[in-house]
A and B are shown apart, each in its own frame.
Chain A
Amino acid sequence: MVLSVNDVTVTIDRPRRTAVHPVRGVSLSLKAGETLALVGESGCGKSMTCLALAGLLPNRAAIASGTLVLDGTDLGTLSPRDARDLRRRKMASVFQDATGGLNPVRSIGWQVAQAVRMRGGATRHAAQQEAVRLLGRVGLPDPERRAREFPHQFSGGMNQRAMIALAIAGNPKLLIADEATTALDVTLQAQILELIADLRRALGMGVLFVTHDLGLVAQHADSVAVMYAGRIVERASTDSLFANPRHPYTQGLLAALPDAMGASARLASIDGTVPPIDALPAGCAFAPRCVRASAICTSTVPDTVRGLACHHPGPRVRPAVPAMQKEYS
């Protein structure tokens, strides 16, 4: 296992108010060379999970319980400095805003070379050569010249390629791609994801692929974890999740997609909205929006059994056409 996350809860302390838990009891595991997708809508805790993995949680947030095991080492047993060093050597992240993630006053080549030296301890000259090689590897034309340019001279797609070059410097075992292509045009997105897949195969990285786009999940992930309101509600291989989703939320998400080939019927929407994390309902957080909710759902949080956290899992039911006014509870 490149990564195993066991029952991790993230807590954010708030002055004069009760603490909130944006991530609650999340468990994940990822093998070398595999892609695991973490999907969910905004506010479901997927980015918070990534930040916890990368050790980049904001000030008031902390991992309250659970363990993170990175390439065989439990990060909780290390000193903060050792944990940071281990993360630096073994994992890398690519986020949505590549241009914002690069230093505007340093050349692209300098920044990639810096990452090479940080991970491998190469000499300055060797690191520079390696930087040019990496920029070529991610498909930047004329890398020798481009390495001397600055982020503002690059397009968004080129900056994202540069970020990926930075991330794969020193062959990390784990790549976290958090909405890495969301800001890109679709023709560019396809090419960047193809690049990540090539690199994953060539370098044997595990990729944690965080996205809200189920189309991308179907195309690129080996397995999927669906998050809702801080918890993983369903975990399965990509094939079985799409063929036979068991959790009503997963089913709702899949049914809400505009069907490329189908006749233009109504989309099946999920009524209501995601509850805010400081006002989660008792029991299953999805219960207020769920077509199958019963008394137990509003009182008891469902346990996760074989990757599924639901009191009433089952094959898809065709929901009745929802009345527009029903959206609000």
Chain B
Amino acid sequence: MTALLRATGLRKSYATGRAGLFRPSARFNAVDGVTLHIKPGETLGVVGESGCGKSTLSRLVLGLAQADAGEILFDGAPLPRADTDDWRRMRIRMQLVHQNAAGALDPRLPVRAQVEEALRIHKRAPERAARALSDVGLPPAMAARYPHEMSGGQLQRVVIARALALDPDLLVLDEPVSALDVSIQAQIVNLIRDLQAARGLAYLFVSHDVAVVRHVADRIAVMYLGRVVEEGPTAAFRTGALHPYTRALLDAVPVPDPGCRGGAVPRIGDPPNPAAPPPGCRFHPRCPFAVHRCRAEPPVLREFAARHHAACHRIEEIA
């Protein structure tokens, strides 16, 4: 099956600090050579800790940030430059939901008007707004409310409704449930999954929460300091993660069962400054298995099992 979204060799750097008269400002590679694809109807989960570039990645995919290098194909066609008419037409098919639902809504408009606005911008019938709001489980009476009259979970439903009203093929979900309490988080996770089952949506689901990603994703890519260090089917992340960073990340997730106590806490130290990543394998200063080669030579993603890739020199030896 052809991929709905295919990104190859994406690279994006930002300036850090101020440039001097004769000194260019330092650059910081937020995303450094990321390749990924998403098939129609599939969920790709992207996990990583702060500073790993996962949010930059989601902005690149939507064209909200311009990549320095690399190529993005959406449904076989290259992503047009942002703010062109071609881009706006394509953006109907790819929508964004992020963590801060309250910030994504206008405090001075009732929520239905905000969904209608999105439809009007893309020249769709505004009548679809009511349907979209009921599809995400909001009763009709709630459509007339203002954002401050709604709870965090309800606001996240509104944002999802606004994205879905345009009937997109791809939804980029950047930490969609991270700000929600666990009981509300479960409601939204269920909603996201139900909508996918009903409409065949593809998701790029970006989160720092391994447990949530493992619950919703078909495939998972783990990012560390701008690079994908491991990528494979979700089942592989329940049983046999390959990369030492992924293992540490999974071990660090607290298991809600007092019977599984005393698991080895990964002692991998504090993360380095993402603006000055170490040479070679970026994980080597924290890696218990690092050898000389890891300090000198950046590893590339290699396939170890069916569709299961990892970027580490020593996987064969440490398995």
**A, B from the same assembly:** yes
Q: Contact residues of A with B, CB < 8 Å?
A: 41-42, 155, 157-158, 185-191, 193-194, 212-220, 238-239, 242-243, 252-254, 256-261, 264, 266-271, 273-274, 324-325, 327-328
Which of B184, B208, B234, B265 contacts A269 (CB under 8 A)? B184
List 7 A-B pairs, minimum CB-CB distance, nearest first.
Answer: A215-B254, A324-B137, A269-B186, A41-B181, A185-B49, A256-B186, A267-B186
Contact B184 A273 (CB under 8 A): yes
Stretch at the interface among B94-102, B118-126, B211-219: B211-219
Contact A187 B268 (CB under 8 A): yes
Closest to A289 in B: B183
How far apart are A24's CB and chain B's nearest CB, in angstroms? 20
Instruction: Collect the chain A residues with CB atoms within 8 Å of residue B234's CB.
Output: 264
A220 and B183 alpha carbons, distance in the complex (Å): 22
Say which size band chain B's interface belongs to: 35 or more
Closest to A267 in B: B186
Give the number of A-B contacts (CB < 8 Å).
136
Stretch at the interface among B162-170, B245-253, B295-303, B309-317: B245-253
Task: With a 10 A CB-CB cut-off, give which of B248, B258, B273 has the most chain A CB atoms.
Answer: B258
A191 and B269 alpha carbons, distance in the complex (Å): 8
Q: Contact residues of B with A, CB < 8 Å?
A: 49-50, 136-137, 139, 142, 151, 153-154, 181-187, 189-191, 193-194, 208, 210-212, 214-216, 234, 238, 248-249, 251-261, 265-271, 273
Instruction: Collect the chain B residues with CB atoms within 8 Å of residue A257's CB.
Output: 182, 186, 211, 256
Instruction: Collect the chain A residues with CB atoms within 8 Å of residue B154's CB.
Output: 273
Instruction: Collect the chain B residues with CB atoms within 8 Å of residue A191's CB.
Output: 265-269
How far apart are A248's CB and chain B's nearest CB, in angstroms? 12
Instruction: Collect the chain A residues with CB atoms within 8 Å of residue B142's CB.
Output: 328
Given A186-B208, A190-B266, A260-B238, the answer on whether A267 and B215 have CB atoms closer than 8 Å is yes
A63 and B183 alpha carbons, distance in the complex (Å): 30
Contact B49 A186 (CB under 8 A): yes
Instruction: Collect the chain A residues with CB atoms within 8 Å of residue B186's CB.
Output: 256-258, 267-270
A214 and B255 alpha carbons, distance in the complex (Å): 8
A238 and B255 alpha carbons, distance in the complex (Å): 13
A193 and B253 alpha carbons, distance in the complex (Å): 12
Contact A253 B182 (CB under 8 A): yes
Contact A264 B183 (CB under 8 A): no
A266 and B187 alpha carbons, distance in the complex (Å): 9
Please give 16 more A-B residue pairs, beta carbons under 8 A apart, in addition to A194-B267, A217-B256, A253-B183: A42-B181, A185-B271, A187-B49, A189-B252, A190-B252, A218-B256, A218-B258, A238-B258, A239-B258, A257-B186, A258-B189, A258-B211, A264-B216, A267-B186, A267-B190, A328-B139
How far apart are B94's CB and chain A's nearest CB, in angstroms? 24
A11 and B182 alpha carbons, distance in the complex (Å): 27
Contact B265 A190 (CB under 8 A): yes
Which of B183, B252, B259 contacts A187 (CB under 8 A)? B252
A188 and B253 alpha carbons, distance in the complex (Å): 11
Given A186-B210, A324-B137, A328-B142, the answer on whether A254 and B256 have CB atoms closer than 8 Å is yes
Instruction: Collect the chain A residues with CB atoms within 8 Å of residue B271's CB.
Output: 155, 157, 185, 187-188
